[in-house]
Amino acid sequence: MTPGRIDTTKPHPARMYDYYLGGKDHYEVDAQAAQQVLNHNPYAAHGARALRLFMQRSTRYLAAEAGIRQFLDIGTGIPTEPNLHQIAQGAQPDARIVYADNDPIVLTHARALLRSSPEGRTAYLDADVREPGKILDAAELHDTIDLSQPVALSLNALLHFVPDEFHAYDLVQAYADALAPGSYLVISHVTGDFDPVTLAKIIEIYRAGGIPAQTRTESEVARFFDGLELVEPGVVPVHRWRPAAGDPSSDYTNAQAASWAGVARKR
């Protein structure tokens, strides 16, 4: 049975991502749209895997090397182990994480995201990134993290679902303004730079399914970090950001991974 608000007549990005990652939390309509994407680009699942592995590497870097103990992860996705809090708390057991996503299916799985370490804490907000006031003022957020202290804001594989008509740069600026000095911004973002024709077709499939979507170029992704200090190696193809030994995405081509990624610090 389909719980409450879940719409199984239209594809949803979280559920298509789940399909690419080999999960079970999607419906026929998502599988069909994802298969259409795979028909144009047999490497779409590589792209999803490269994005998920970047989330893991960047979180590990922030918790283990930069000493960050508070995370705000918007566009969390359907839980896929290891989730962000498991990585952060693996390095900092008392890490506190606030998750937010606007897809009702992610809400139905929130319990898995709320299994915090005993020393740390996690919270889940059913919210849209396009409403920064709602997220930044939420009582659950303030009960979990302290915005006067450094926070890592993760916008991983999210902003390509926020086309320019939704003022993506102003939104990111509003979140960055709310963060304390020493905070970090993490972004991964699908690009057509390495294969514009294929990516244009993929964006068309998402839009035809009612999902707002847009690729951005290297300089357009870099612009999200304006005013912040990029951590080495800067904005790079997602699988080239501090690759870890044994990471399966290290061997991908830029066209297979098809995303830019970066991490920057607020002074």
- Binding site residues, ligand SAM, CB under 6 A: 13-14, 17, 51-52, 55, 74-77, 101-103, 106, 128-130, 156-158, 161
Burial classification of residue 21, based on how many CB atoms lie within 10 Å of its CB (0-12 exposed, 13-18 middle, 19 or more buried): middle
Question: 3-state DSSP call for residue 185?
Answer: strand
CB of 114 to ligand SAM, least distance (A): 16
CB of 55 to ligand SAM, least distance (A): 4
Ramachandran angles phi, psi of 63, nearest 5°: -75, -50
Q: Which is nearer to ligand SAM, 4 or 181 (CB)?
A: 4
Cα(267)–Cα(254) distance, integer angstroms: 31
Q: Which is nearer to ligand SAM, 129 or 203 (CB)?
A: 129
Q: Which is nearer to ligand SAM, 171 or 179 (CB)?
A: 171
CB of 52 to ligand SAM, least distance (A): 4
CB of 15 to ligand SAM, least distance (A): 8
Q: Which is nearer to ligand SAM, 55 or 179 (CB)?
A: 55
Q: Which is nearer to ligand SAM, 81 or 232 (CB)?
A: 81
CB of 119 to ligand SAM, least distance (A): 24
Query: How far apart, in Å, are the Cα atoms of 160 and each of 12, 32, 79, 125, 217?
Result: 14, 21, 20, 21, 11
Cα(258)–Cα(190) distance, integer angstroms: 6
- Single-letter code of the amino acid located at 167: H
